[in-house]
Amino acid sequence: MRDEDVERVLDVERRGHLFPWTRRIFADCLRVGYTCLVLEEEGTVVAHLVVASGAGQAHILNLCVDPERQGRGYGGGFLDQALERLRGNGVESVFLEVRPSNAVAIAVYESRGFNEVGRRQDYYPAARGREDALVLARQLI
């Protein structure tokens, strides 16, 4: 992901999340050097991923697939590529949060070896109040 990709990423983000990240959040992630990736198909952004990493650990902060392309394996394939890249960069373990209500995402993560290691109470904004987050983790090495 580059600065010039952010507008196209925002389009996917806004259609893919009820509470999307802002332009400034993506710009800040790029500025501080997080791993920010886009998956493109014929020049169209299909998915994006943001990962913070250091000291052998990585934290997936955002993974979003265009809603029109969900259910076709883009998310899992993109995640596989990102995990290989992280492994190649010396990352030993990866963490992420996911909404308990997002059964599809949980299934994708579990199929890639992620396991629940905790829960964060009232982590996500929701249509009515807040929603907990499941904390998932996977060892890469």
Q: What would the pLDDT profile of 49-68 be if each residue is shown by its tens digit?
A: 999 999 999 999 999 999 99
What is the predicted pLDDT for the residue at 17? 93
pLDDT recorded at residue 100 = 97
pLDDT number for residue 66: 97
Interval 31-49: pLDDT, tens: 999 999 999 999 999 999 9
Share the mean pLDDT of the chain. 96
d(CA 115, CA 12): 27
Helix or strand holding residue 49 (H, E): strand 44-54
Residue with tokens 């990866």: 94
Q: Which domains does the chain have, with CATH numbers?
A: 3-139 (3.40.630.30)
Active-site amino acid positions: 97, 109
Residue 124 neighbours by CB under 8 Å, 6+ apart: 19, 97, 99, 130, 131, 132, 133
CA 84 to chain centre: 15
Those residues with Cβ within 8 angstroms of residue 103's Cβ, 6 or more apart along the chain or in another chain: none
Longest dimension (CA), the chain: 41
Give the pLDDT of residue 46. Answer: 96
Q: What span, in angstroms and rounded, lies between the C-alpha atoms of 112 and 42?
A: 27
Share of the chain above pLDDT 70, in %: 100
Render pLDDT for 124-139 as a digit per residue (tens, 0 to 9).
999 899 999 999 999 9
Quickly state the pLDDT bin for 89 (edges 50, 70, 90). Answer: very high
Tokens matching residue 69: 């392309």
Question: What average pLDDT does range 101-110 have in this prediction?
Answer: 96
Q: pLDDT value at position 120?
A: 97
